């Protein structure tokens, strides 16, 4: 008589060894237009991290790129399977993951100025520009602003590069890699009234900012956390971050998250 017990036992053992992923899905992830974290074509440092993690879980990812902050609102209105670059603890639908990406805010200035901005107090008497909402996000910045010669926040971040190269401000506050990417884009433009090839220096005087993902289901969030942990442990994610930092080494030095 045919004995099915050995086959059943083998199948049972195999089943216990299969990772407990959620059902493989083709996911739409909403993301902010923040080159080089997310480029318009869905590539970028952060895009690569998310794609690598989710593919390890068996999922495929398509990014829908929107103006930053609008992507949160679109997700809140019911679109997409998940949303990227969410401040930890931000009230938003779904289940938030652990921190998976860090941005490194700091101070960028023209190297020829020889300024050493070790902390916010060093910006006293300086003309400073920052990204929109910086004074509400970066600890201590709002209190320091009255000591600056001038301070302005603008949404157009390539405009920050124009202002520093045009000697209209002394320092730019923001993420060093984003600043470096907009400098690169500016160098591709013709007929500028200033030299976009001037050396710049980035100094990481602020603590890194952590961000999580929000997914609509707990199963996807659990998948992401588990596969992120695996990719972090085997060095895959450090290799991605190192690769992107190398692209902007002339600006970042070794100040960007230690890469």
pLDDT-based confidence at 22, cuts 50/70/90?
low
pLDDT value, residue 114? 86
How many helices and strands in the chain, by DSSP H and E? 10, 11
pLDDT of 254 over the 80 cut: yes
Buried b (16+ CB within 10 A) or exposed e, 214-235: bbbeeebbbbbbbbbeebeeee
Q: Give the pLDDT mean for 182-186.
A: 96
* pLDDT the model gives residue 160: 95
**Mean pLDDT value across residues 80-87:** 97
Average pLDDT, the chain: 91
153 has pLDDT over 90: yes
Tell me the backbone φ, ψ of residue 34, rounded to 5 degrees.
Answer: -135, 75
Whether the pLDDT of residue 134 is over 50: the answer is: yes
188: pLDDT strictly greater than 80: yes
Rounded average pLDDT over 248-254 = 96
Buried b (16+ CB within 10 A) or exposed e, 57-68: bebebebebbeb
Q: What is the mean pLDDT of residues 35-61?
A: 97
Model confidence at 21: pLDDT above 70:
no
Contact predicate 176/255, CB 8 Å: yes
Q: Is a pLDDT exceeding 80 seen at residue 84?
A: yes
Rg (C-alpha) for the chain, rounded Å, is 22
**7 — pLDDT class (breaks 50, 70, 90):** very low
| pLDDT at 106 exceeding the cut of 50 | yes
Please tell me the predicted confidence (pLDDT) of residue 115: 83
Q: Provide the 10 A C-beta neighbour count for residue 148.
A: 18
Q: Mind listing the domains of the chain with CATH numbers?
A: 21-102+210-249 (3.40.190.10), 105-203 (3.40.190.10)
């Amino acid at each position: 008589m045919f004995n099915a017990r050995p086959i059943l036992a083998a199948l049972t053992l195999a089943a216990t060894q299969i990772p407990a992923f959620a059902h493989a899905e083709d996911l739409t992830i909403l993301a902010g237009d923040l080159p080089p974290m997310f480029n318009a074509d869905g590539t970028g440092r952060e895009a690569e991290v998310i794609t690598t993690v989710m593919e390890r879980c068996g999922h495929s990812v398509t990014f829908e790129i929107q103006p930053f902050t609008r992507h949160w609102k679109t997700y809140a209105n019911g679109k997409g399977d998940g949303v990227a670059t969410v401040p930890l603890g931000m009230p938003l639908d779904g289940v938030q993951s652990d921190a998976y990406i860090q941005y490194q805010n700091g101070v960028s200035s023209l190297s020829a100025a020889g300024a050493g901005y070790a902390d916010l107090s060093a910006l006293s008497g300086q003309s400073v520009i920052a990204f929109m909402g910086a004074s509400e996000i970066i600890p201590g910045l709002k209190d320091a602003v009255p000591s600056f010669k001038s301070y302005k926040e603008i949404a157009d971040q390539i405009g920050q590069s124009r202002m520093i190269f045009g000697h209209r401000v002394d320092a730019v506050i923001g993420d060093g890699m984003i600043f470096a990417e907009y400098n690169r884009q500016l160098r591709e433009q013709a007929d500028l009234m200033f030299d976009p090839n001037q050396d710049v220096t980035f100094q990481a005087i602020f603590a890194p900012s952590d961000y999580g993902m929000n997914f609509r289901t707990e199963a996807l969030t659990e998948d992401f956390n588990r596969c992120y942990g695996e990719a972090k442990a085997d060095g895959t994610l450090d290799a991605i971050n190192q690769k992107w930092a190398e692209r902007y080494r002339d600006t970042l030095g070794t100040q960007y998250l230690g890469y």
